[in-house]
């Protein structure tokens, strides 16, 4: 049901902006009643967050668990771009309506930082700023570059001293 509501929202976003889309519009497009919507979501914005969480869960399930502390940085980067590319139509629909910034709070749930360690918080935000900027530009360009080209360029820019910060354990954030 959540996926049906998310798909309905994406279809509606092709025709109009998020500010003009109501819960009634989404439920009508999905062919469900408002009660079904409110069992799962509190607002249309919650559906957008759900979409970003779904993409991140797909990535988490696809990336190889680390075997040596962080596992393969290359595998992590390639899998990230492959996953986002596989959801390109949805991500571009959200981006075209100015909704990409809503991805940042979702990403924060997947990238650990010790709330009592200011340096840890700054490292996370630095890392997330790069991710948001990188994906934002890729989306601005209509994802014209292949996921392989994006991964290659990211790896060239990262160098060997950086490592991914995402917690790739198989537990969901907050659980």
Question: Long-range contacts of range 115-120, CB-CB < 8 Å, 24 or more positions apart?
Answer: none
Q: Is residue 130 part of a domain?
A: yes
Tell me the residue range of the domain where 52 lies: 2-158
78 located within any domain: yes
What is the C-alpha to C-alpha distance for residues 90 and 19, in angstroms, rounded to an integer? 18
DSSP single-letter state for residue 155:
H
Residues 6+ apart with CB under 8 A from 77: 151, 154, 155, 158, 164
Kindly report, residue by residue over 106-146, the tens digit of the pLDDT: 999 998 899 999 999 999 999 899 899 999 999 999 999 99
pTM of the model: 0.86
Number of structural domains (the chain) is 1
**CA atoms of 80 and 138, how far apart (whole Å):** 13
97 is a domain residue: yes
CATH code for the domain in which residue 102 is found: 1.10.357.10
**Is 164 among the domain residues?**
no
Token pair of 123 as six digits: 């490292």
């Amino acid at each position: 049901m959540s996926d049906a509501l998310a798909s309905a929202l994406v279809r509606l976003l092709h025709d109009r902006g998020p500010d003009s889309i109501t819960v009634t519009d989404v439920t009508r497009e999905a062919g469900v009643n408002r009660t079904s919507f409110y069992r799962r979501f509190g607002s249309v914005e919650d559906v957008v967050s759900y979409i970003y969480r779904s993409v991140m869960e797909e990535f988490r399930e696809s990336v190889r668990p680390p075997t040596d502390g962080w596992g393969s940085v290359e595998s992590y980067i390639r899998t990230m771009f492959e996953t986002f590319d596989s959801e390109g139509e949805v991500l571009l629909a959200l981006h075209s309506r100015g909704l990409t910034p809503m991805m940042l709070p979702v990403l924060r749930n997947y990238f650990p930082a010790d709330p009592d360690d200011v340096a840890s918080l700054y490292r996370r935000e630095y890392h997330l700023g790069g991710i948001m900027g990188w994906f934002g530009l890729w989306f601005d360009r209509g994802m014209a570059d292949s996921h392989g080209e994006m991964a290659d360029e990211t790896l060239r820019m990262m160098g060997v001293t950086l490592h991914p910060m995402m917690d790739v354990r198989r537990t969901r954030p907050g659980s």
